Amino acid sequence: MGLARRIGTVGRWPLGMGLASWRYLWRTSPLHRVDQAGTPDDVGPPIPDDLLDQRVQGVSSGAGPLFRRRYRVRIEDSSMRPEQVIGLIAENPNRAAPVEVAIFHKTRGARGPMRVGDEYMVRMPGPWDGPVRVIDRGPTSVRLATLRGHLEAGQIEFRASREDGALRFEIESWARSGDRLSELLYDRVRVVKEMQLHMWTHFCERIARLAGGRIRGGVQIHTRRVERLPDG
């Protein structure tokens, strides 16, 4: 993605930011944030060799610090199984995504739910739109990797489980900014960071509603910041 296009995405911020801010003000779930220093062990799981090519934008090709971030919610009073939750996301991630800041379009792969090797373009009103590839799909999880042109470099995973009679839903990412401009907008200006936080907390809240349950204890947000990646 060229510089002109990236600057152009900033011009689409006002509407998306306005809608996102409106949702943020009417948020009902409290947010509980924990920020810690990370270690090189926080770089994330390896990408399968058969899905690793020159288009994959791994953390080693990014810029600035790496953030390992996990959004977690406990959903009570839901009879939905973890497999059903991930099935909803795999069938149509737009059912849970806030459409004012993110819309998923499949660009590669057969019609139907997510499969390993499928690719999507995620459109956003700020400098976060970009291509991703499905690199892992299990009964209770699905993991995506960023591709060249994305303004992040890394992976994100959605997973669900049962714990003490309640449904547990998590989103975990291991990512750096895709380049220096993205790093400036994310880590220094910080507006994009808050938009991203809104996106994934909304996603968690929407999953709870789709599952027919209620969130207990708010949205837990755990961030580990890694300033220096291991060599290699």
* Residue ranges of the chain with per-residue pLDDT less than 50: 1-13, 15, 22, 25
pTM (2 d.p.): 0.85
Q: What is the pLDDT of residue 18?
A: 53
How high is the pLDDT of residue 125?
66
Q: What is the pLDDT of residue 76?
A: 97
Q: What is the pLDDT of residue 197?
A: 82
Quick one: pLDDT at residue 179?
74
Instruction: Give me the pLDDT at residue 95, please.
Output: 92
pLDDT at 2: 45
* Secondary structure (DSSP) of the chain: --HHHHHHHHTTHHHHHHHHHHHHHT--S-EEEEEEE--GGGG-PPPPGGG--TTB--GGGSEEEEEEEEEEEEEES----HHHHHHHHHH-GGGTS-TTT-EEEEEES-SSS--TT-EEEEE-SSTT-EEEEEEEEETTEEEEEEBTT-SEEEEEEEEEEEETTEEEEEEEEEEEESSHHHHIIIIII-HHHHHHHHHHHHHHHHHHHHTT-EEEEEEEEEEEEESSPPP-
Q: Which domains can be identified in the chain, with CATH numbers? A: 3-40+55-226 (3.30.530.20)
